[in-house]
């Protein structure tokens, strides 16, 4: 990673009196693949539009490479945006679509032709320049939209759910293509998605958002393995989130069972959220678990079985490579390191803000 060069400084934005972004402060490093991840309405697309200059903040400033660009129009920012709807011009050839921005910039014919060929090669569509847009598949159209952005040599590429309209296999292929492009081009990618798997696959850094606030910033591994609160744990992957009481350091009680954990610093007898990932639940013989239960559902997912177990009055979600038929009496076991303790929010606002906001 290189130097930090984008800073949204205490930015707020509302529409029709509804607060979408509230005092957001985000720093982005050069050559980073950063993903804004969150549910619909969390403010991620608004953040991208503020960066691109398509919206103006109500408060705060936006800095790019040390310069205040808050009031600059989109065409004066060294950023290009790729939207989910590709917005290609159907009456133009692919080459003309790619060259559109360069022609507006009054570049020479030879320069434009070189850039077209370079961009087509970069997105693995050499020889497609003379074709019409309608002759392309969805994935090919998306590549052309990316090529059109790349030829303008932006320092930052903003991508607003660009793969959302593609089928699963094509989406996965394009994820790897985007990672390759980012490495080859050496530019910063800022990517918006609500797809957790997409964010985990592609990103250097994930920014998890909810209700206009940043919940957590970290690497994919950090965000998945060390979620900052129950919202992040529930949104990134799947989790068992159970009401508990932190009896003392490294000892929690939930579902009528006392279990060792590794967390410290909570007040004695403090209400908490106990978060346990499905893959961290081990199904054992009844005698070897810290509680007993019965398998109520099993679904084969290809790599693993997704099993539900009724134990302690709670419906546990378990991911395992071992098969346990419905009705099997089992034990539930989780090692202390995989029992994550979270502060329990006192209100919906606190839940939205998260512990660090």
What pLDDT score was predicted for residue 142? 83
CA 39 vs. chain centroid, Å, equals 10
User: What is the per-residue burial (b if ≥16 Cβ within 10 Å, else e) of 171-197?
Assistant: beebbebbeebbeeeebbbbbbbbbbe
Q: What are phi and psi of 197, to 5 degrees?
A: -65, -40
Q: pLDDT digit string (tens) for 95-130?
A: 998 998 888 878 889 999 998 998 898 888 888 999
The two tokens of residue 350 are 């606190």
Distance between CA atoms of residues 315 and 311, nearest Å = 7
Spell out, as residue ranges, where the chain has pLDDT lower than 50. Answer: 1, 354-357
For position 315, what pLDDT does the model report? 98
First to last CA, the chain: 25
* Predicted pLDDT at 355: 43
pTM for this prediction:
0.83
Give Cα separations from 23 to 13, 186, 240, 247, 353 (angstroms). 9, 30, 31, 36, 11
Phi-psi region of 306 (alpha: psi -120 to 50; beta: other; left: phi over 0): beta
β-pair type (251-254, 257-260): antiparallel
């Amino acid at each position: 990673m290189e130097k930090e060069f984008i800073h949204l400084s205490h930015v707020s934005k509302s529409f029709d009196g509804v607060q979408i972004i509230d005092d957001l402060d985000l720093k982005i490093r050069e050559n980073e693949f950063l993903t804004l991840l969150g549910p619909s309405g969390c403010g991620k697309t608004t953040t991208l539009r503020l960066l691109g200059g398509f919206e103006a903040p109500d408060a705060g400033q936006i800095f790019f490479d040390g310069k205040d660009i808050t009031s600059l129009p989109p065409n004066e920012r060294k950023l290009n945006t790729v939207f989910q709807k590709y917005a290609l011009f159907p009456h133009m050839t692919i080459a003309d679509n790619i060259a559109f921005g360069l022609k507006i910039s009054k570049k020479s014919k030879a320069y434009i032709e070189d850039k077209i060929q370079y961009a087509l090669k970069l997105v693995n569509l050499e020889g497609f320049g003379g074709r019409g847009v309608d002759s392309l598949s969805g994935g090919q159209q998306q590549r052309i939209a990316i090529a059109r952005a790349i030829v303008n040599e932006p320092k930052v590429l903003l991508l607003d759910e660009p793969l959302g309209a593609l089928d699963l296999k094509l989406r996965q292929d394009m994820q790897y293509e985007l990672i390759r492009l980012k490495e080859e081009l050496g530019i910063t990618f800022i990517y918006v998605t609500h797809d957790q798997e997409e964010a985990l696959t592609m990103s250097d850094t994930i920014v998890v958002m909810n209700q206009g606030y940043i919940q957590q910033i970290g690497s994919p591994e950090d965000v998945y393995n060390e979620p900052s609160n129950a919202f992040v744990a529930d949104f990134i992957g799947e989790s068992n989130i159970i009401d508990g009481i932190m009896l003392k350091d490294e000892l929690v009680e939930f579902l009528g069972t006392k279990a060792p954990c590794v967390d410290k610093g909570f007040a004695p007898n403090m209400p908490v959220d106990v978060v346990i990932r499905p893959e961290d639940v081990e199904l054992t013989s009844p005698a070897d678990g810290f509680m007993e239960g019965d398998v109520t559902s099993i679904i084969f997912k290809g790599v693993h079985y997704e099993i539900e177990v009724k134990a302690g009055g709670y419906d546990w979600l378990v991911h395992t490579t071992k098969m346990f038929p419905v009705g099997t009496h089992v034990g539930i076991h989780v090692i202390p390191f995989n029992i994550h303790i979270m502060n329990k929010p006192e209100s919906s606002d606190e839940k939205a803000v998260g512990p660090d906001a």
